């Protein structure tokens, strides 16, 4: 049986002068699969993928939020993953002329 992974999307506000350093430090944390610098109300978005619910606290509360320059985090836990095919169809709705 294939192990289920938990995915969390973490929105991160940082010290604006330290965005590259903060992003690099977060990307090096075990369990963080990707870190994006983004436009909008937050500076970074990290994807965290772990096997156990308790691991989310270890990664996010104990490591990500303690990186120097992180001011605030907001975490969303993913319930369901949709295939790329489903997403392409959803985003294509209404694009036909």
Identify whether 61 is part of a domain: yes
Decide if 1 is inside a domain: no
SS3 string, the chain, reads CCCCCEEEEEEEEECHHHHHHHHHHHHCCCCEEEEEECCCCCCEEEEEEECCHHHHHHHHHCCHHHCCCEEEEEEEECCCCCCHHHHHHHHHCCCCC
Task: Provide the domain count of the chain.
Answer: 1
CA gap 36, 23 in Å, rounded: 8
Q: Quick one: pLDDT at residue 4? A: 78
Query: What pLDDT tens digit does each residue of the chain (97 aa) get?
Result: 456 789 999 999 999 999 999 999 999 999 999 999 999 999 999 999 999 989 999 999 999 999 999 999 999 999 887 766 555 655 566 555 5
Its domain, for residue 76, covers: 6-92
Q: Is 0.75 topped by the overall pTM?
A: yes
Task: Identify the CATH number of the domain in which residue 35 sits.
Answer: 3.30.70.920
């Amino acid at each position: 049986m294939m192990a289920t992974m938990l995915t969390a999307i973490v929105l991160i506000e940082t010290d604006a002068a330290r965005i590259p350093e903060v992003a690099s430090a977060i990307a090096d944390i075990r369990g963080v699969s990707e870190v994006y610098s983004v436009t909008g109300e937050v500076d970074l978005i990290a994807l965290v993928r772990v096997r156990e619910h308790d691991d989310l606290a270890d990664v996010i509360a104990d490591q990500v939020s303690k990186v120097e320059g992180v001011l605030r985090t907001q975490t969303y836990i993913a319930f369901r993953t949709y295939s790329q095919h489903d997403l392409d169809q959803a985003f294509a709705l209404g694009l036909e002329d």
